[in-house]
A and B are shown apart, each in its own frame.
Chain A
């Protein structure tokens, strides 16, 4: 009796601890989210009054076409010399408006305005404050005229201003643009900009742009130097240019007559191609890990219920689906805070799926103890019921779950390798869950009880462990983890009634492949299968890759029926 009471106390403490871990996780995610939202609020500050600029702008409205170039260069100078980044931005916006023919002035007040087309009407903005001004008809306005010569001036000014803009991203873009249109004028501009450049990435890009142009020069030395600079660059343009230089023209002569240079270029190209292959490999590996982490997430709950408890839960996929739908519901409840909804849905999905799981264990599985094939059928029936229930409550159609800002976007490592944040977070998330589960199984009392019950139920009972309760808790834990997997999956795929069904076979494959009852086996199995799948895909196509992996697992199981990491000892029988 005492030990029973004791176990209740211990398990309460345990549950609290688990809740604590969740809270910590939640807060961690939340802090990331909060930082991002602050960063987003910085824009649209008001501008200090700019007397010089307003003077130039007024004269712009009265100038004729021949006076225009002077005014434009005056404005450019203002923008470049100003220390205020907003000034820079505003002048560029005015240039862009003028280029697009959207710059007007009011006939009576001579005030410069920017016209913006809305769906069916127009609105006018003050170019300085960006505020919407009162406005009746287009007839009140007079367009600032542009001709081709002016357009050229404007474009050049814009390019110069972007190249010298305080924003690093803009500068990078400008260099990219100049790389494709390498005129003499642009090159001298680039050279000047390079001497002022402080950022190393932009500088490097400028070097490459200049080196690309130098390849076309006649000077041997500068060519050689250019090749040295270009070797190992991953810019797509560099590869194309080198290939073009190494090719033969129509008469069969080499484009580049110098043999030594050709050899150097060939070497550079080989370097580039090797580097590209390395990065392509890394990218495939990343995709493989991403798929593998999804498999791991789907399978890890199963490795508890199936692997450790030995219960075949065919409704496991539906636990995942319930987690995904919990995310959807929370998001519809909190449409203004998508990020918070996602963070909150992690514990919510755990609770929902865990409760349903405990219900299944208490209501069905416990009556079928020791009859695995019957358990399989009953839980399969249950999965049909759950699917149909979701179809009835929500809709048979897929539901869209929106990704918050910090989940979208990608980390651009270099021109050929970029890593999407969404997938990266899912990988991290799956590892966190894995560690959490490993902790629960190896370092907590519940884990100890689970091991004891799964190894020798009667003996565990004799030692005062409430085996029934442990069964329910373990099943709840496995199901809850599946629910959390659903939250992650909702960010990668569509949320629909068939979401879980798509993963159930894969999950079983991962668990059986890794070795039943072994969490590390599930980790290796999931990641391994994901990576193999992604490496096969470019060779044979997505569907055939999947088929091949399935067949390979079937064959593997024949060879090693107990998986990669078989359990040893008495537990086996």
Chain B
């Protein structure tokens, strides 16, 4: 009886992408909430007068846009940690690589409006006495090429890394430490001026994107809406992937990898492709982050940043996707608040969050809701 229903649902789900999300309550609520908030903020910022009680100013819009790009990043981590049990402490690296690709495009858009007014070279290259553009900067003046790189660079790195790691069956804590070493190595590399990515200052002073002024209200609004849209699409796609047969194998790998392997699945292939997908999501998040924040520097590669992402996911509750989004929003909102009010206290709070969530709330905030819902259903069942 029960299995029959399950099969029926699966058949329905495979039919199309959108109805799939409508099947479960969590997804419905999440997507509706995301849509509602985005629509409200957009309309309020675009239509209401500034004196209005409900007016959302452009600063907040940009801040929310930044949070949404973080949320996408957290979702990327949740895809592999929550569903496949791979704890990556280096996802900040993929995020930063996507961000750098976007930053390079924005840098080329400045053209001769830089401080030194050079037609081709960005300011920092003129400053370092470089004579011509390094080869890896070619093509970044074209937007489609840059977007391709946003996806390709993190994807290729992830593929290379994951292919080697999973093929030799590096798992668990070892893998986590390897990913951390990876982002640490990139941090050191990007700090070098000789690399040609602006050294420790990174890339900044962006002027416009696709010919539109980055500072203008309209562009900021569009970027915010775009972030929300990409987040929703990424959610649907991730859900689709994880509900598919591929996703079921992934969950099997998480719960009992050897068994899945004995049954005949090449588990490393599944893991590699999921890792690549997750890295690409992180790269896209980085590309959305840069135009809204206006700077990208090697600090994004620091191991601390990558580990913070994991905490967002842990706080929200892993293995649910929207839990990660919620966690990213909660923690970052708290961070913005506390670093302004009590800058010294933030690290205490963050550290405490790590400890408290892992010990007291292993399922995160969503875990509380889940427990309540379960109690309710138990009550109903006993009645």
Residues of A within 8 A of B (CB): 312, 364, 367-368, 372-378, 380-385, 387-389, 391-392, 501, 505, 508-509, 512, 543-544, 546-547, 550-551, 553-555, 557-559, 561
Contacts and interface: CB of A to CB of B under 8 A. Distances in A.
Given A380-B307, A557-B170, A391 B350 contact: no
Contacts of B357: 377
A387 B173 CA distance: 23
Interface in B43-79: none
B347 A509 contact: no
Contacts of B355: 364, 378, 381-382, 385
Contacts of A512: 174, 177
Given A374-B362, A387-B347, A392-B344, A543 B188 contact: yes
Given A381-B358, A512-B177, 20 more contacts: A372-B173, A376-B176, A377-B307, A377-B358, A385-B348, A385-B355, A388-B348, A389-B348, A501-B304, A508-B181, A544-B192, A547-B185, A550-B184, A550-B185, A551-B185, A553-B181, A554-B181, A554-B185, A557-B170, A558-B168
Given A312-B173, A377-B354, A385-B352, A368 B359 contact: yes
B351 A388 contact: yes
A373 B188 contact: no
Contact of B178 (A373, A375, A385, A554): A554
Contacts of A374: 358, 362
18 contacts: A364-B355, A372-B173, A373-B173, A376-B87, A377-B310, A377-B311, A377-B357, A378-B354, A378-B359, A380-B354, A382-B351, A385-B347, A508-B181, A512-B174, A546-B188, A557-B170, A558-B167, A559-B168
Nearest to A516: B174
Interface string B169-209: 11011101110111011001101100000000000000000
B225 interface: no
Nearest to B168: A558
B153 interface: no
A26 to B, nearest CB: 35
B32 interface: no
Q: Is the interface of B mostly helix, strand, loop or mixed?
A: helix
Contacts of B172: 372-373
A543 B347 CA distance: 28
B170 A381 contact: no
A310 to B, nearest CB: 9
A388 B347 contact: yes
Lowest 10 CB-CB distances: which A-B pairs, in order?
A381-B354, A384-B351, A385-B351, A388-B347, A550-B185, A381-B351, A558-B164, A378-B358, A374-B358, A381-B355
Contacts of B174: 512, 557, 561
A376 B173 contact: yes
A501 B180 CA distance: 13
Contacts of A546: 188
Contact of B344 (A367, A388, A505, A508): A388
Chain B interface size, under 10 / 10 to 19 / 20 to 34 / 35 or more? 35 or more
B358 A368 contact: yes
B187 to A, nearest CB: 9
Contacts of B34: none
Q: Is the interface of A mostly helix, strand, loop or mixed?
A: helix
Best-buried of B168, B169, B172, B348 by chain A (most CB within 10 Å): B348
B314 interface: yes
B323 interface: no
Nearest to B184: A505
B353 interface: yes
Contact of B191 (A388, A543, A554): A543
B303 interface: yes
Best-buried of B161, B165, B310, B351 by chain A (most CB within 10 Å): B351
A381 B350 contact: yes
A303 B362 CA distance: 28
Nearest to B356: A381
Best-buried of A372, A387, A554, A559 by chain B (most CB within 10 Å): A554
Contacts of A501: 304
A80 B344 CA distance: 68
Contacts of A364: 355, 359
A508 B174 CA distance: 9
Interface in B340-375: 344, 347-348, 350-355, 357-359, 362
A500 B173 CA distance: 20
Contacts of B189: 543-544, 547
B170 A384 contact: no
Contact of A383 (B170, B182, B351): B351
A380 B173 CA distance: 13
A130 to B, nearest CB: 54
Given A364-B355, A382-B354, A561-B168, A550 B181 contact: yes
Best-buried of B170, B311, B344, B354 by chain A (most CB within 10 Å): B354
A555 B164 contact: yes
A392 B347 CA distance: 11
Contacts of A389: 348
Contacts of B167: 558
A14 to B, nearest CB: 30
Nearest to B347: A388
B271 to A, nearest CB: 14
Nearest to A508: B177
B175 to A, nearest CB: 9
Contacts of B311: 377, 381
B140 to A, nearest CB: 24
B293 to A, nearest CB: 23
A553 B304 CA distance: 21
B344 A509 contact: no
Nearest to B314: A377
Contact of B165 (A373, A378, A558): A558
Contact of B170 (A387, A392, A547, A558): A558
A128 to B, nearest CB: 61
Given A378-B355, A558-B164, A547 B350 contact: no
B173 A384 contact: no
Contacts of B344: 388, 391-392
A509 B181 contact: yes
Nearest to B359: A367
Contacts of B353: 381
